[in-house]
């Protein structure tokens, strides 16, 4: 009997530890199409950012400043200290970054984008919101610039501004369902600005039925309203 109790206690402790560290989330919307599809089931780490900060390319669960009752899933594009600009005059539209605000401009290569990007293609105002012309913005300490991979159908920093560090809840690190699309694929890379004159290949265009903000279901957390 004592051995059985010990096994049960260990099992309960492990369950609580895993439940506290990890969370399943279900994608609700099309703003991450190119990487994630509506109804994909992901595994997210709630402790990853206890030991470090979000990095460029991370897919994160966050509370948008525009609506604290919802959780969004987006990709981190700019981190604190970066100088960032979006130039829609280029073909394709280019996200330009000076990492840490120093050195020459570099182009963010994003092979996961599902189609050409032709909405909100100029950025940024001081708060990260889209502008009418390309203009550089330096990201303050403790704030992040996030975007959906489906740029034409995403509510992200271009519309609601920079996201505070405390509003980033977890790091989504693997897709577990459907099994046929396990994982996430390649992330962004930085190229010297001279490469911007070269056409950057993108994945074949996908048909998207409706624009969506990229709300997701955060299991056992709170009810999330669809946008």
Domain boundaries, the chain: 24-218
pLDDT at 202: 47
77-135: per-residue pLDDT in tens?
999 999 999 999 998 999 999 999 999 999 999 999 999 999 999 999 999 999 999 99
Q: How confident is the model at residue 16 (pLDDT cuts 50, 70, 90)?
A: low
| 211, pLDDT greater than 80 | no
Fold of 24-218: Umud Fragment, subunit A (2.10.109)
Please choose, from the candidates 95, 92, 91, 121, the residue with its C-alpha nearest in 3D space to the C-alpha of residue 106: 95
pLDDT at 1: 85
C-alpha to C-alpha distances, 23 to 48, 59, 148, 217, nearest whole angstrom: 12, 14, 21, 11
The strand pairing partners of 122, in sequence order, are 87
Note the pTM of the prediction, 2 decimals: 0.81
Q: Of 219 and 182, which is predicted with more confidence?
A: 182
């Amino acid at each position: 009997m004592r051995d059985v109790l010990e096994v049960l206690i260990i099992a309960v402790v492990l369950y609580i530890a895993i439940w506290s560290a990890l969370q399943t989330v279900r994608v609700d919307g099309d703003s991450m199409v190119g990487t994630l599809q509506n109804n994909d089931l992901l595994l997210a780490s709630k402790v990853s950012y206890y030991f470090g900060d979000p990095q460029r390319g991370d897919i994160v669960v966050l509370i948008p400043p525009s609506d604290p009752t919802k959780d969004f899933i987006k990709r981190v594009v700019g981190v604190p200290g970066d100088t960032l600009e979006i130039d829609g005059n280029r073909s394709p539209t280019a996200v330009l970054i000076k990492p840490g605000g120093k050195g020459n401009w570099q182009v963010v290569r994003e092979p996961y984008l599902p189609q050409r990007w032709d909405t909100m293609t100029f950025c940024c105002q001081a708060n990260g919101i889209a502008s009418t012309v390309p203009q550089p913005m330096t990201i303050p300490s403790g704030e992040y610039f996030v975007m959906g991979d489906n740029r034409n159908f995403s509510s992200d920093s271009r519309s609601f501004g920079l996201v505070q560090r405390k509003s980033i809840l977890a790091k989504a690190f693997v897709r577990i369902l459907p099994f046929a699309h396990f994982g996430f694929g390649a992330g962004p890379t930085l190229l010297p600005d001279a490469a911007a004159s070269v056409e950057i290949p993108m994945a074949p265009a996908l048909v998207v039925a409706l624009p969506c903000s990229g709300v997701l279901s955060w299991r056992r957390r709170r009810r999330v309203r669809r946008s």
